[in-house]
Structure 1
Amino acid sequence: MNENRQFLKNSFLTFTRQVMNILFGVMLLIVLARYLGPKGQGQYSLITLFPGVLLMLFTLGINTSTIYYVSKKEVTIQTVYTNNMVIGLALGLISMVLGAIIVFFYSGQFFSHTPDGLLYVCLLTLPFLFLREYFLTVFQGLQDFKAYNTMMVVNQLAILAFVGLLVILLKLKLPGAIFAFLCGNIVTAIVMVGWLKKKYQLRLVLSTFSADYFRKSVNYGLKAYISNFSSFLNYRLVVFLIGFLLADQAVGIYVIAMNIAERLAIFAASFSSVLYPKIASFDTEEERNRLTSIVSRNMMAVSIGLTIVGLCVPTEWIVLLFGGKYTESATLLRILLPGIALLSVEKILSNDIAGRGKPELNMYLSVFNVLLNVLLNVWLIPLIGLKGAALSATLTYAVSFAIKVIIFKQVAGEPIARFLLINRADFRIYKRLISKLTIL
């Protein structure tokens, strides 16, 4: 029971910090939407997405394997720290060079309406993005969710602060927003290194670099890497497709709806980040099945509730926050919400499967999802515009969810009703929680 309470405590801590993260994220969206307009917002999304794709392309799954091996205590934290620092910086530089080559030779094909100079500036973010990604998973593996969630908030707050300075005060518009993205991620990486140094006395000691651990982490991580990269493409490839098939302004309108919808998946993000290291640390299937079933079925109920609330959000609220040019974002949001609800539950099941040491199952499905999503987008965007992009996402998430439910049922041997439908035991948990809150 102590472990269950600790899991709930970590999840609640993650949730509260995620709420702050969302508030800062929404504020950032509002500022960029207001000061850049749909076209500038679209260009910002395309430019900042470029290093994000390179980051996912070169992580090699080391971020995922870090959680797995640290949770199982199969390697010293000092070795993990040194390996992740050295490999992160090296891969960051390699991806910068590749990105610069792509911009130099192919920017006309992929970024025809985007300034090349800002693409080069954004590529400078890559080493810091790798450090952020690799060190976040160290905190996750240690189950130090106070640090993990604090760093998430620091990242959003730092970018927002620089946007306030460069975009609002200095009126630098799109260049200011890109430099804010760069500076915010630099600050985040510095704070993370400082935290690890202070709390865990970690230093960059090259003699602790382990080639053996590097091989092990890549061997394990490659399965999750393909899955994560495919999932990332599944969520973000639509941005490039809209930019290619429509226009930068259309990207800006879609991105607002997409970001709002994804921020409603806060509960899934809170529990998923805690669930993976917990599942990896368990010794018995019974413990894993019980915990995941409780989390996933309650996530299903919460996601359905949030979707219903989101569907009732008036269009006027979107216009009030982001401006009259984003009216269509409200319609896109309503189309995306059911898919995001299913995606929230699927993330729980995916992290359980990965925590059991079977990330290749997620990988196969992720590759299928990318192919399905691309085909749907290529068909529906020319046919019905941005609504086609939103509908493609929701259809892909629905198909993926159905398949993942079948996979989890086979892996865990659990009846579908047990991990998707809330029961009387859950209501007793709610009653106890309400009683404790009432006492407080």
Structure 2
Amino acid sequence: MKRNTMKDIFLTFVTKMFYLGGSFIISVLLARLLGAEGRGIVAALFVLPNLIINLADMGIRQSSAYMIGQKKYTVQEVFSSSLVLWLLASIVSILILLGYYMIPSTTQYNWGLIAIAISLVPIKILETYYYGIHQGKQQIEIMNKRHIISFFSRLIGVVILVWILSTGVYGAAVATLLASASVVLYSFWTLKDTVKFKLNYKKGLPQKLFRKGIVFAMVLFILNINYRIDILILERFVSAAEIGIYSVGVGLSELIWQLPTAIGTVLFASSTNSTSDLDAANKAAKLLRFSLVFLVSGSILFALTSKWIVPFIYGNEFQSASEVINLLLPGIILVVIIQILHAALSGRGYPLIGIRIFILAIIVNVILNILLIPIYGINGAAISSTISYAIGGFGYAYVFAKKTDLSLKDVLIIKKEDLNEIKKALKLKK
């Protein structure tokens, strides 16, 4: 049966907005219930496991969807082979984390919290592998329901464990674990009649899945390191309470990413079907120009009001998060350049374009964090991130322009015809 693509995009977008709104509510609840210190412990606890998960995922989600879509292998063969990789990735990831946490100077957590964080790894990897199967089978409704189930599972966990039972950071950590476990169980249940949960080595298939996906996984891993390395460095220099304040500022700032992320997801699929590289490039540049106009305007308004919004929502304890937000916003806007343009080039088969820029941005971020955090604390981390994001954003815009034979002006600067289209869309014709 032919799918209604626009309907799928719309429902996916609505679901994403619902999920983000729900995540925001959970963030506020945790800040109010745990305070800055508890919020900081929970935020820092999952940083390294999530980075490991991004790498251990190995892009199998994308490659599984591709293999199923190509119909060269059955869904069962793809899933069974991916489970072989899941087992190996989980074992290696757990050993890496155990080795890290056994170094006395690297962590402030007890083994109860560490056990919860490590337990998340195999569950989360399996969650992403299941997503690839749903994606390959074009089960858009199930994919959207997974987000809703994840939100409600975590919300219920936070309310019961943290609010009612007062289990503190342990309850918050377990709630995160339960959210992923619920999604995995739901995927298992929806696929139980068509896909069996069994490891089966199909000769050559695990290697194909790995080779197809690892490029995407490496780029995503590098990008995520740059977005999260500041928390790992902050752990060495500031208190958990300050990390909690910083994480609230980061979380609110990163809400700005969400619309461009949705655009990038659609653009990736659209780019794979474009008639030419130039067509895909022009479409991406136009979307970026539109996005930047609205993002800059919204960010200025956000920056002007953040000193009232933050304490009103999170409490006076998080007042200084408004400074973090204002320092991060310029960098957050520039990260959007990467999100939109990288999606377009990846969809055309160029995921590694600009990887040197990403690595340079990470190096700059690490050096500046080490230099500035001891002097300026969490504000130093925000400054470091913004400078790093600026290097990544402008650097990738240059690489994109060079690759597509467009000028930087065409990529970044709004045009008169763009403004006319916006006015037309808003029905503001003169």
Task: Give the TM-score of the pair, scaled to structure 2.
Answer: 0.90
Q: Does 1:256 align with 2:248?
A: yes
* CA shift for structure 1 position 335: 1.0
**Where does residue 295 of structure 1 map in the other structure?**
287
**Where does residue 29 of structure 1 map in the other structure?**
27
Alignment match of 1:380 (pick from 372, 381, 397): 372
Aligned counterparts of 2:5 and 2:357: Cα–Cα separation in 1: 32
**Where does residue 163 of structure 1 map in the other structure?**
158
* CA shift for structure 1 position 10: 4.6
Q: Does 1:361 align with 2:346?
A: no
Alignment match of 2:92 (pick from 94, 115, 120): 94
Give the counterpart letter for 1:100 in structure 2.
L
* CA shift for structure 1 position 35: 1.2
Give the counterpart letter for 1:334 in structure 2.
N
Paired residues of 2:310 and 2:319 also in contact (CA < 8 A): yes
Aligned counterparts of 1:287 and 1:211: Cα–Cα separation in 2: 39
Paired residues of 2:83 and 2:199 also in contact (CA < 8 A): no
From the superposition, tell whether residues 191 and 261 of structure 1 become closer, same or farther in structure 2 (CA, over 3 Å): same
From the superposition, tell whether residues 342 and 137 of structure 1 become closer, same or farther in structure 2 (CA, over 3 Å): farther
From the superposition, tell whether residues 247 and 346 of structure 1 become closer, same or farther in structure 2 (CA, over 3 Å): same
Aligned counterparts of 1:82 and 1:338: Cα–Cα separation in 2: 45
* CA shift for structure 1 position 139: 4.3
What is the correspondence of 1:127-166 to structure 2 with a 5 Å cutoff? 127-140=122-135, 145-166=140-161
Superimposed CA distance per residue, residues 136-163 of structure 1 (whole angstroms, 9 cap, x where no aligned partner): 3444566655443432333233212111
* CA shift for structure 1 position 363: 2.9
**Where does residue 279 of structure 1 map in the other structure?**
271
**Where does residue 111 of structure 1 map in the other structure?**
107
**Where does residue 438 of structure 1 map in the other structure?**
none
Q: Does 1:203 align with 2:196?
A: yes
Superimposed CA distance per residue, residues 246-275 of structure 1 (whole angstroms, 9 cap, x where no aligned partner): 121111110000011112211111111222
* CA shift for structure 1 position 430: 4.5
Partner of 1:357, secondary structure, is: coil
From the superposition, tell whether residues 211 and 307 of structure 1 become closer, same or farther in structure 2 (CA, over 3 Å): farther
Give the counterpart letter for 2:236 in structure 1.
F
Aligned counterparts of 1:386 and 1:250: Cα–Cα separation in 2: 7
Superimposed CA distance per residue, residues 57-98 of structure 1 (whole angstroms, 9 cap, x where no aligned partner): 322333344455556666554443333333224322332233
Q: Does 1:193 align with 2:196?
A: no
From the superposition, tell whether residues 64 and 240 of structure 1 become closer, same or farther in structure 2 (CA, over 3 Å): same
**Where does residue 394 of structure 1 map in the other structure?**
386
Superimposed CA distance per residue, residues 276-306 of structure 1 (whole angstroms, 9 cap, x where no aligned partner): 2332344532442243233222222222122
What is the correspondence of 1:308-323 to structure 2 with a 5 Å cutoff? 308-323=300-315
Aligned counterparts of 2:329 and 2:374: Cα–Cα separation in 1: 22
Give the counterpart letter for 1:258 in structure 2.
V
Alignment match of 2:405 (pick from 399, 404, 413): 413
Paired residues of 1:15 and 1:266 also in contact (CA < 8 A): no
Paired residues of 2:337 and 2:397 also in contact (CA < 8 A): no
From the superposition, tell whether residues 153 and 89 of structure 1 become closer, same or farther in structure 2 (CA, over 3 Å): farther
Paired residues of 2:36 and 2:318 also in contact (CA < 8 A): yes
Paired residues of 1:71 and 1:280 also in contact (CA < 8 A): no
**Where does residue 174 of structure 1 map in the other structure?**
169
Superimposed CA distance per residue, residues 88-116 of structure 1 (whole angstroms, 9 cap, x where no aligned partner): 2432233223323432x21x31113x222
Paired residues of 2:334 and 2:390 also in contact (CA < 8 A): yes
* CA shift for structure 1 position 176: 1.0
Aligned counterparts of 2:138 and 2:280: Cα–Cα separation in 1: 17
Alignment match of 1:333 (pick from 325, 331, 345): 325
Stretches of structure 1 that go unaligned for 5 or more consecutive residues are: 436-440
Paired residues of 1:40 and 1:252 also in contact (CA < 8 A): yes
Stretches of structure 2 that go unaligned for 5 or more consecutive residues are: none
Q: Which stretch of structure 1 is more off in the superposition, 26-35 or 421-430? A: 421-430
* CA shift for structure 1 position 12: 3.7
**Where does residue 15 of structure 1 map in the other structure?**
13
Q: Which stretch of structure 1 is more off in the superposition, 347-356 or 222-231? A: 222-231
Give the counterpart letter for 1:111 in structure 2.
T
Give the counterpart letter for 1:45 in structure 2.
A
Aligned counterparts of 1:227 and 1:220: Cα–Cα separation in 2: 13
Aligned counterparts of 1:205 and 1:121: Cα–Cα separation in 2: 25
Q: Does 1:219 align with 2:211?
A: yes
Paired residues of 1:89 and 1:131 also in contact (CA < 8 A): no
Alignment match of 1:80 (pick from 73, 78, 85): 78
Give the counterpart letter for 1:369 in structure 2.
A
From the superposition, tell whether residues 68 and 392 of structure 1 become closer, same or farther in structure 2 (CA, over 3 Å): farther
Alignment match of 1:237 (pick from 229, 250, 260): 229
**Where does residue 52 of structure 2 map in the other structure?**
54
Partner of 2:166, secondary structure, is: coil
Alignment match of 1:183 (pick from 178, 184, 208): 178
Q: Which stretch of structure 1 is more off in the superposition, 146-155 or 374-383? A: 146-155
* CA shift for structure 1 position 22: 1.5
Paired residues of 1:67 and 1:277 also in contact (CA < 8 A): no
Task: Give the TM-score of the pair, scaled to structure 1.
Answer: 0.88
Aligned positions, number: 426
Aligned counterparts of 1:414 and 1:142: Cα–Cα separation in 2: 37
* CA shift for structure 1 position 49: 1.9
Aligned counterparts of 1:421 and 1:206: Cα–Cα separation in 2: 52
